Structure 1
Amino acid sequence: MKHYIKRLDKRILIGLGFVSVGVLYLKVLSPTFNIHIPCPIKHVTGFDCPGCGMTRLSLSLLEGDLYQAFRYNSLIFILIPLFMVYYYSVSKGKKKMSDYLLYSMLIMTVLFGILRNVPMFSFLAPTLV
């Protein structure tokens, strides 16, 4: 039991470290030095990838604007709960369920990436700044 708690504490500290670095980047470095993370897919193809809008989503969440965060990238609001269920099913050894969830999330991500570039589904594209 002690070993598990020690490992969990290490994971929490590593996660908090990543979150801290992310907040430092989003709230201090990016606005001060005008440093932004460019999307290589958008740059090369001109199309929005499934992850386009994530930096702006993060900034909106930090400001408490849930609606605008959803407008930047709605997929993440579906994937995070599914990933939590996936992680739980893996930890409980439910291979069939975890495989189903993993493939479902992959298919959703690919479809989201395609559909957000189709004019009929332009509401899925990140809103302009």
Structure 2
Amino acid sequence: MLPCLNKKLFGFECMGCGLQRSFLLIIQGDFTAAFNMYPAIYALIPLVVFTTASLFFKFKYSNKIINTLAIASVIIIIVSFIIKKIN
């Protein structure tokens, strides 16, 4: 696994810390632990899948769907980061 450069240099986790571990937990089938590790994983996976699919296929509202998924992902990332810092 790649180490977090932010954590190594500054000593605290960034907003992306836990993403790799969460993805590996999903591959292993531990969905609850993946959510606890990085809650935004369940918004990022559909975003990546839909964005990739929209490169090959035409969807009617693809820009709106991608924007909605991106905004939801950013909101979840920020909220979970704040909650992690508070606890």
Q: TM-score, normalised to structure 2's length? A: 0.61
- Correspondence for 1:77: 42
Structure 2: state its 5+ residue gaps.
Answer: none
After TM superposition, the structure 1 = structure 2 runs for residues 99-114 of structure 1, keeping only pairs within 5 Å, are 99-114=63-78
CA–CA distance in structure 2, aligned partners of residues 91 and 73 of structure 1: 29
Structure 1 residue ranges, 4+ long, deviating more than 6 angstroms after superposition: none
Task: Identify which of structures 1 and 2 has the higher relative contact order when contacts are C-alpha pairs closer than 8 Å and 6+ apart.
Answer: 2
Query: Size of the alignment, in residue pairs?
Result: 84
Structure 1: state its 5+ residue gaps.
Answer: 1-25, 27-35
After TM superposition, the structure 1 = structure 2 runs for residues 21-100 of structure 1, keeping only pairs within 5 Å, are 26=1, 36-40=2-6, 44=10, 46=12, 48-49=14-15, 51-61=16-26, 63-94=28-59, 97-100=61-64
**Bigger radius of gyration, 1 or 2?**
1
RMSD: 3.1
Q: TM-score, normalised to structure 1's length? A: 0.47
Residues 47 and 108 (structure 1), Cα distance of their counterparts in 2 relative to 1, 3 Å cut = farther
